[in-house]
Chain A
Amino acid sequence: MRLTVTNLAVRRSGRRIFSGLSFGLGPGEALMVTGRNGAGKSTLLAVLAGRLKPEAGTLAVADVGEASLPECLHVVGHRDGLKGALTAEENLAFARDLLGDPALAPREALAELGLAHALRLPVSYLSAGQRRRVALARLLVCRRPLWLLDEPTAALDLAAQGVLAGLMARHREAGGLVVAATHQALGLDEARELRIERPEPDAPRVPRPGDAPVASGPGLEDWA
């Protein structure tokens, strides 16, 4: 698939997060979204995932038939979408039935991430890193060309970070796309970098309790 984003602008709660953002991604390519805390990295991923409406700009996908953008991507973010009362296997089986186009069985996907022993454990019993690995196993249970990863290495140990890098490399070899918001190197070879910055770092703003968590000051730059 091919993803083209042109002149994207996003406003949350009346404040502009970024504008004029453009980039394109083709098969096998990866994009690292970087920027300081609160720059709008998660916001960009939420827009791509169809959870936020952009104020301006277009998102276009090509070579995916009739599927819309949210239907051809996986999201792994801070909110992992796992139910603590269900076992790891049940969570993955649900994702597989919900999203369609099944690939690996939940058991095999968990084994890839070194969590085969947690198959029948309720997810609420797992540690933060293990939960994250269950969420990452979702990438393998159904086939989707675009992976949106928000801080995918958070809470992961070194071994799991290596496994994740291997998964991403394999996904890209098969023609998949990766967009990752991150603060550290993910082991993505030849990944392009999109740096979201705000031109006025001196505009301090006291966040209110109702504010969206990733909102930042106005303005932005794009160096795609």
Chain B
Amino acid sequence: MIGTIRALVARDLVLAARVGGSGALSLVFFLMIVALVPFALGPDLNLLSRIGPAILWLSAVLSTLIGLDRLFQADEEDGSLDLMTGAPVPLECVVLAKVTAHWLTTGLPLALASPLFGLLVALDGTAMAGTALTLLVGTPALTFVGAVGAALTASIRRGGLILAVLVVPLMIPTLIFGVSAAQSATAGTVPFATPLMVLAGLSLIAAVVGTAAAAAALRWSE
């Protein structure tokens, strides 16, 4: 079972590196939104640094949606999903492996790059570290929630927009706790750990529920 999962993760990482696309694209999309906000709001550094974590989180939610539609669709189209049905592991393990690989190529780079992008919205060191940490803990929840939508729209051509409509409402709790954790890193009365723990809980719940739901959706899709 471990060998199967490792093979799946390795294949998706190689494919992501060779085909390019979603990982780099979502990072560029992230940079675009973060760069646009200061132009729209004007050079008010106090305002920017106050809403900076929220901007970074909002951008992270939106850029998670990029590339999510191809998560299962690409394998559904070329028959790889039929191949995976025959693997001696439950479909849930296949989903878990694929979503993990997807997070490693999209969510993780976002979290790692966020301190750099924090410069654009005038975050100080503590806020940058706090936001990066919350993104690291919170983006798995976004990816797993998105995977359910990706599985539901796997056999729909151009299902990207439907996917966004389906999953964005489900990402709201993660967004709320992510932003409140990031903001409590610098200011506020709530200790940093409380919303961070809730965020970690959300990620863990999403990992379980999202994996089971996405596998059910893939089984049911035919």
Contact = CB atoms under 8 A, between A and B. Distances in A.
A51 B88 contact: no
A52 to B, nearest CB: 5
A83 B78 contact: yes
B80 A81 contact: yes
Interface in A56-101: 67, 70-71, 73-75, 77-83, 85-86, 90, 94-95, 97-100
Given A90-B14, A94-B7, A97-B4, A49 B85 contact: yes
A100 B84 CA distance: 12
Most B-side CB within 10 Å, residue of A71, A78, A79, A95? A79
Given A71-B88, A79-B78, A83-B78, A98 B15 contact: no
A162 interface: no
B4 A100 contact: yes
B143 to A, nearest CB: 21
A166 interface: no
Interface residues of A, number: 29
B4 A98 contact: yes
A97 B14 CA distance: 15
Consensus secondary structure, chain B interface: helix
Contacts of A50: 85-86
Given A52-B222, A98-B87, A100-B4, 9 more contacts: A71-B87, A71-B88, A77-B79, A80-B79, A90-B11, A97-B3, A98-B83, A98-B84, A100-B87
Interface size bracket, B side: 20 to 34
Consensus secondary structure, chain A interface: loop
Most A-side CB within 10 Å, residue of B11, B82, B84, B88? B82
Interface of B: 3-4, 6-8, 11, 14-15, 18-19, 77-80, 82-88, 222
A2 B101 CA distance: 38
Contacts of B19: 85
A80 B82 CA distance: 9
Contacts of B15: 83, 85-86
Contacts of A97: 3-4, 6-7
Contacts of A51: 82, 85, 222
B18 A75 contact: no
Contacts of B222: 46, 51-53
